[in-house]
Amino acid sequence: MMVGILCLLLLLIASAQSENISVGELKSVVKLERELLHNLRIYAQELETRLRLINGAIAEYGKNIQLLDRNPDLYMSNPLFAFRLMTHMRQHWPAWQLYMTQQPGSDQLKMQQRLLSLLPTRDAHKEAAQSLQSLFKFYNYAPASFLLKNKKHLRLSSLDCYHMGRELYEQQKYHEAVDWLAAAAAKYSPTSPHDELLGVSLGRIYEMQLKICEWRHSSCSHGLWSCSRRTSCCGASNTSWSSRSQCIHRQRLRSRPASCRSNAGATTNRIRIWSVS
């Protein structure tokens, strides 16, 4: 209990001392988040209205076909039915075609484009990541230890770890990205149905880990990275570079479709040469 309170106090103190992101700036971002969420909610309502209209037409048209199937002679010999069907074909279906070509939520799309112009800059996201990384580094926190915090405001999800690792990876701070990616991979699970839409995948995490292993091997070979530290490659202790790389490779293969695994042997053979004696 005391440890949790201490962690909270340290986080609050570090947050208050941070000059990178002010409270006023965060309030502006929160306001923008509310507007984006409201716009998305209206867009969903537009889609729901559109879906109800389409489902209503499907039910109505389907019912007419069911009545015809039950007693075809009665309907096929009826001039009224023939006229109604011809009108339906000539007037209704072309109207549906026009309706289907109309983009739903066009007003919300315009609003979305306007709001996106107000998004925080790339530098602002970079500063936020640097602030969090500095905090963890100063207090010697491990990302994995925050994955299961009881307090939601202190808890890190695997998605948080993924985005932190990705940000540091894109800044080529590979030695800092290692622990974040390892935590993301260890506890990875799709948290929502839209993860795939957002481009979050376990295969992508393994890909970044594998490239870090390549970078460390190259740095060690050129004296830029201490070979004595290689046991922590990709966040795994007491594991050789070769075996860790092959493990990541096998995990990546399992996350791919079977049709993409044909060159597994060749790639594994290439990984074996990374071992540093």
Beta-carbon contacts of 244 under 8 Å, excluding residues fewer than 6 positions away, are 213, 233, 234, 236
State which residues of the chain have pLDDT below 50.
1-10, 12-19, 227-232, 234-246, 249, 251-277
Q: Per-residue pLDDT tens for 53-63?
A: 999 999 999 99
The CA distance from 222 to 219, in Å, is: 5
The CA distance from 190 to 256, in Å, is: 16
pLDDT at site 261: 42
pLDDT at site 53: 93
Per-residue DSSP letters for 121-155? Answer: PHHHHHHHHHHHHHHHHHTT--GGGGTT-SSTTTP
pLDDT at site 149: 64
pLDDT at site 77: 87
Fold (CATH) for 122-272: 1.25.40
pLDDT at site 50: 92
Domain limits of the chain? 23-116, 122-272
Q: Per-residue pLDDT tens for 179-194?
A: 899 988 887 776 666 6
pLDDT at site 143: 87
238, 243, 234: which is closest to 216 by C-alpha? 234
Count of beta carbons in the 10 Å neighbourhood of residue 201:
15
pLDDT at site 37: 95
Buried b / exposed e across 63-92, counting CB within 10 Å, b at 16+? eeeeeeeeeeeebeeeeeeeeeeeeeeeee
187, 230, 240, 235: which is closest to 208 by C-alpha? 235
Decide: pTM greater than 0.85. no
